[in-house]
């Protein structure tokens, strides 16, 4: 048996999956960006940017002015602020120029990030905060004004605010475009819990008027400016839909996709998506939620029938859609639909995995093969080629640096046969 060992090189931090999940819904809308005349905090230097304060500064122990409950868990009366476009409910020890809602600022979370990236405010006076209104309807606002977005940006590209609302415990992001251009922007927008890993963050997938969001694979490369007066409102108290299992089986000429949910909140339903290669998926049908008004605390079972499956192997996944447009993806399942034998098979273990994943390829012939790993939203995180002999070949993958989540291993051969695909959980 041949043994091959590889290392996945990722620019990410080790993620530890926590028990808490994010309990928010997301709504896109408009709200006028009105500049505030607030308090300018005394910043500490958190890095070595062009200005160690306005570029890489942070401040702790800023009073909110009321008790704010975050994520249905702890309540806070103070925040910390980074010039790099986020606030924390813990004390910061750095400005954290590298955005990472999945596992970043470990030990100094939770994080609220209207635009987390390399931000230069040009002047410390452009970072202000204030509390307005009267109890029980006060609003705490932090403002980043005339922000240069991206390392080396020459002019202000964005101004933005985060607002915390008393009593409702809502969180709102509001934006105003400035005339300058961003320079190599790569931002995260969303929320993060104290714990790390999947379901411990909400990450916007785009900056559309009604954006999609994910809790399983952070989008940390946002590059477009949110529109003038764009608002993203996070309402507390909404649980994610939990897909407990998904499988596929044959019934005569049909492929039957089956799944169960453990709980549903604000769920609209499920897009059943199919692929011929395990990478490029398209919707084949939509299944409405069985939950009353989209909400359920018990197990619900679903099935969907694909009456016209493709020749060869069919790959399926679910795209769960909230009523507010937020989405989450299931793992991928597959079934072969023709009589032609596959050129090989895959076995992944252990699964779930913590540090070392074994990809065992059982090939019927000697082949040059390519092994790729993709995250839940289809981004490739590893690609390597090997010479695999007939029989069993073990490929050891160090996945210790991968954030927690669901991943897909895709093995192709140099004869362009049907790819072999398996899913694992980190």
Residue 18 lies in a domain: no
Query: In the beta sheet, which residues pair with residue 58?
Result: 44, 82
Dist CA 341 CA 122 (whole Å): 64
pLDDT class for 128, splitting at 50, 70, 90?
very high
Dist CA 368 CA 412 (whole Å): 9
Does residue 195 share a domain with residue 220?
yes
Residue 259 lies in a domain: yes
Does residue 202 share a domain with residue 88?
yes
pLDDT class for 137, splitting at 50, 70, 90?
very high
SS3 content of the chain, % helix, strand, coil (to 5): 0, 50, 50
* Residue 387 near residue 368 (C-beta atoms within 8 A): yes
pLDDT digits (tens, 9 = 90+) for 297-354: 778 999 999 988 887 788 898 988 888 777 777 777 888 775 445 788 888 998 888 8
Dist CA 371 CA 385 (whole Å): 6
Does residue 192 share a domain with residue 141?
yes
Residue burial 37-49, b: 16+ Cβ < 10 Å; e: rest? ebeebebbebbeb
* Residue 189 near residue 160 (C-beta atoms within 8 A): no
Does residue 280 share a domain with residue 248?
yes
* Residue 63 near residue 78 (C-beta atoms within 8 A): yes
- The average confidence (pLDDT) of the chain is 86
> Which pLDDT score is estimated for 240?
57
Does residue 205 share a domain with residue 113?
yes
Task: Tell me the CATH number at 287.
Answer: 2.60.40.10
Cβ-based neighbours of 10, under 8 Å, separated by 6 or more: 381, 401, 402
> Which pLDDT score is estimated for 48?
53
* Residue 53 near residue 175 (C-beta atoms within 8 A): no
Q: What is the dihedral of CA 377, 373, 308, 271, to 10 degrees?
A: -20
Q: How far is CA 241 from CA 169, 320, 322, in A?
A: 21, 8, 8
Does residue 379 share a domain with residue 308?
no
Does residue 170 share a domain with residue 107?
yes
When mean pLDDT is compared across 282-291, 353-362, 412-421, the lowest value belongs to: 412-421
Q: Which two tokens stand for residue 162?
A: 């985060």
Task: Tell me the CATH number at 348.
Answer: 2.60.40.1930
> Which pLDDT score is estimated for 42?
94
Number of domains in the chain: 3
> Which pLDDT score is estimated for 325?
73
With a cut of 60, say whether residue 16 has pLDDT above it.
no
Residue 282 lies in a domain: yes
Residue 16 lies in a domain: no
Q: Which two tokens stand for residue 179?
A: 């005339």
Cβ-based neighbours of 311, under 8 Å, separated by 6 or more: 337, 338
pLDDT digits (tens, 9 = 90+) for 152-194: 999 999 999 999 999 989 999 999 999 999 999 999 999 999 9
Spell out the SS3 assignment of 203-220. Answer: EECCCCCCCCEECCCCCC
Residue 307 lies in a domain: yes
Q: Which two tokens stand for residue 278?
A: 């395990």
Highest mean pLDDT among 107-116, 315-324, 351-360: 107-116
Does residue 421 share a domain with residue 322?
no
Q: How far is CA 80 from CA 27, 42, 60, 190, in A?
A: 25, 12, 4, 16
Pairing of strands 119-120, 367-374: unpaired
Residue 17 lies in a domain: no
Last-in-domain residue among 336, 361, 377: 336
Q: How far is CA 188 from the centre of its chain?
A: 9
Domain range for 379 is 2-11+344-425
With a cut of 50, say whether residue 15 has pLDDT above it.
no
DSSP labels for 271-329? EEEEESSSSS-EEEEEEE--SBTTBBSS-EEEEEEESSPPSSEEEEEEEEEETTS-EEE
Q: Which two tokens stand for residue 419?
A: 């790819």
Does residue 79 share a domain with residue 116?
yes
Last-in-domain residue among 212, 236, 260: 236
pLDDT digits (tens, 9 = 90+) for 41-77: 999 987 555 567 899 999 999 999 999 999 888 899 9
Dist CA 221 CA 15 (whole Å): 18
With a cut of 60, say whether residue 103 has pLDDT above it.
yes
**What's the whole-number mean pLDDT along residues 229-241?**
79
Q: What does DSSP assign to residue 401?
A: T
Last-in-domain residue among 216, 236, 256: 236
* Residue 295 near residue 327 (C-beta atoms within 8 A): no
Q: pLDDT higher for 108 or 325?
A: 108
Does residue 159 share a domain with residue 31?
yes
Does residue 230 share a domain with residue 190?
yes
> Which pLDDT score is estimated for 174?
98
Residue 187 lies in a domain: yes
Does residue 293 share a domain with residue 361?
no
């Amino acid at each position: 048996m041949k043994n091959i060992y590889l290392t996945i090189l990722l620019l990410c931090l080790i993620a530890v999956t926590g028990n808490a999940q994010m309990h928010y819904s997301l709504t896109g809308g408009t709200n006028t960006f009105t500049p505030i005349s607030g308090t300018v905090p005394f910043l500490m230097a958190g890095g070595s940017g062009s200005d160690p304060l306005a570029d890489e500064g942070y401040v702790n122990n800023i009073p909110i002015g009321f008790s704010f409950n975050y994520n249905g868990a702890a309540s806070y009366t103070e925040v910390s602020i980074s010039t790099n476009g986020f606030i924390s409910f813990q004390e910061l020890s750095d400005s954290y120029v590298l955005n990472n809602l999945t596992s970043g600022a470990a030990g100094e979370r939770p994080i609220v990030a209207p635009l987390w990236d390399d931000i230069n405010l040009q002047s410390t006076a452009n970072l202000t905060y204030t509390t307005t209104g009267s109890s029980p309807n006060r609003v705490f606002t932090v403002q980043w004004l005339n922000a240069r977005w991206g390392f080396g940006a020459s002019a202000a590209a964005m101004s933005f605010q985060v607002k915390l609302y008393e009593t409702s415990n809502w969180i709102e992001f509001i934006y105003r475009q400035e005339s300058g251009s961003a320079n190599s922007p790569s931002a995260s927008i969303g929320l993060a819990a104290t714990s790390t890993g999947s379901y411990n963050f909400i990450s916007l997938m785009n900056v559309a008027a009604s954006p999609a969001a994910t809790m399983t694979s952070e989008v940390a490369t946002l590059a477009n400016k949110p529109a003038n007066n764009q608002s993203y409102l996070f309402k507390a108290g909404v649980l994610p839909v939990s897909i407990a299992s998904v499988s596929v089986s044959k019934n005569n000429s049909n492929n039957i996709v089956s799944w169960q949910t453990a709980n549903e909140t604000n769920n609209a339903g499920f897009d059943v998506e199919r692929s011929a290669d395990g990478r490029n998926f398209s919707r084949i049908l939509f299944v409405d939620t069985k939950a009353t008004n989209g909400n359920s605390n018990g197990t619900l079972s679903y099935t969907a029938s694909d009456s016209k499956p493709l020749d060869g192997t069919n790959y399926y996944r679910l795209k769960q859609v909230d009523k507010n447009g937020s989405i989450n993806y299931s793992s991928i399942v597959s079934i072969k639909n023709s009589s032609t034998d596959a050129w090989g098979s895959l076995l992944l273990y252990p699964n779930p995995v913590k540090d070392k994943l074994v990809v065992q390829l059982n090939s019927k012939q000697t082949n040059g093969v390519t092994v790729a790993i993709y995250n839940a939203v289809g981004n490739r995180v590893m690609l390597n080629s090997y010479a695999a002999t007939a029989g069993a070949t073990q490929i050891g993958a160090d996945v210790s640096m991968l954030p927690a989540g669901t991943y897909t291993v895709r093995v192709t051969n140099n004869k362009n046969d049907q790819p072999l695909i398996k899913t694992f959980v980190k």
